[in-house]
Amino acid sequence: MTPKISRAGLWLLALLWLAGPVFAAAKPDKPAKKSSKDEVVTISTPQGTIRLILFDDTPLHKANFLKRAQSGGYNGTTFHRVIDGFMIQGGDTNTKDADPSNDGLGQPSEGTTPAELGPGHQHNYGAVAAARMGGPAGTPSSSTQFYLVENHDGTHFLDGMYTVFGQVIQGLDVIDKIVKVPKDGRDRPTADVKMTVKVEKLKRKKITKLYGYKYQ
């Protein structure tokens, strides 16, 4: 199935947010011992609830997303760009204000996150990935904006280009509902699809039992 992409999709996820400083993290000398617990991120929207987990081997993106979610930074933001057969994109702080024209532009103080393009994580249905400005693979990610893949066959032409750092484990049908909402010529929903995000730490065995997600 070929993704249906509007003219906004011609620049894929090349957002016009202004890049700020790159935030890097020191690499540990030894791999961290894997915890028996993991964070489940719950995104509540008018169309329903989406739950996702974030990958341990994309630690910079995982830590950045959890920090913003736990601080309430995503609460009140919207899915401001939704394309049927492609993805839903959100998280921009600008979507909290009353001016729809600046949605997706981001803020210069938000900075970026270094790309984490390790093998194994593809743009499958329900993949969680980081938006970024245009450019070659390795271009840093937006530290705020993310997208969820809605195409049931995946959007694999983006594999290795944008960092995939998580997976939806419940609420794929909600993504499908969101892409169907009325939208304008910029693929922005005409009625705000606002989100509230919370994080809960559970045992990995419980996550598998509740949501059927199997850890590698």
pLDDT tens track for 101-110: 777 778 777 8
Two structure tokens written together for 72: 């309430």
Could you give the maximum distance between any two Cα atoms of the chain, in Å?
50
Strands 112-113 and 37-45: unpaired
- Confidence (pLDDT) at 211: 96
Q: What pTM, to 2 d.p., does this model score?
A: 0.84
Cβ atoms 87, 147 nearer than 8 A: yes
Q: How far apart are CA 107 and CA 20, in angstroms?
A: 8
**Owner of token pair 């270094």:** 114
Q: What are phi and psi of 156, to 5 degrees?
A: -75, -10
pLDDT band per the 50, 70, 90 thresholds, residue 61: very high
Instruction: Return the ∠ at Cα 81 (arms to 182 and 94), rounded to 5°.
Output: 115
pLDDT tens track for 185-214: 999 999 999 999 999 999 999 999 999 999
pLDDT tens track for 86-126: 999 999 998 988 878 777 778 777 889 999 998 889 999 99
